[in-house]
A and B are shown apart, each in its own frame.
Chain A
Amino acid sequence: NAGVTQTPKFRILKIGQSMTLQCAQDMNHNYMYWYRQDPGMGLKLIYYSVGAGITDKGEVPNGYNVSRSTTEDFPLRLELAAPSQTSVYFCASSYRGRGDEKLFFGSGTQLSVL
């Protein structure tokens, strides 16, 4: 089992460029999440999805978009990248979303916007 796979691992963007962070899980989980982690800070929820075709905003959604066309994939789109989006991005998944089960995380994407 691969679990949660994120690509790319590293990326440098110029201000104003756009890109898509890929996330895929092979555990047939309904719930998927995108978090960002700034140095010395906790993980902040960007967007989440409770199933294919259903997404909702988290704590810090501005500047990002998501889609969930399949159970397996949950890409995160950055439009008009800004230096404030320099961070490490983690995708995670779980079967339910009630807080009584663990999250499985990918290994992260380190993004720098210069």
Chain B
Amino acid sequence: SQKIEQNSEALNIQEGKTATLTCNYTNYSPAYLQWYRQDPGRGPVFLLLIRENEKEKRKERLKVTFDTTLKQSLFHITASQPADSATYLCALAGRRALTFGSGTRLQVQP
């Protein structure tokens, strides 16, 4: 069956460092992969979309890579700030709609 795996353990890093979050998937061949940010008590908010033929996508301090051979996406936040603390969800285009991973909680310590 199709599966999306994100590290369920929280990631704690120091302010100013680069945070790297991982999204692995199996039994999928997605044409697109998306990343969302979710704050407590709020709905997810879109951050970045990357296509299968794109290796890397950047937006300000955010960078996403997409390796269809490894079936993995990495999400990087450079020069992290306490305001970046949130849960980050990856999502793959499925047959009917986006399918989401369970998310990784990022905590940036000042």
Contact = CB atoms under 8 A, between A and B. Distances in A.
A2 B15 CA distance: 34
Contacts of A92: 43
Interface string A81-114: 0000000001010000111111111111000000
B42 A48 contact: no
A103 B93 contact: no
Interface residues of A, number: 26
B27 interface: no
Contacts of A33: 97
Contact of A45 (B44, B45, B96): B96
Interface of B: 4, 8, 30-32, 34, 41-46, 49, 51, 89, 92-94, 96-103
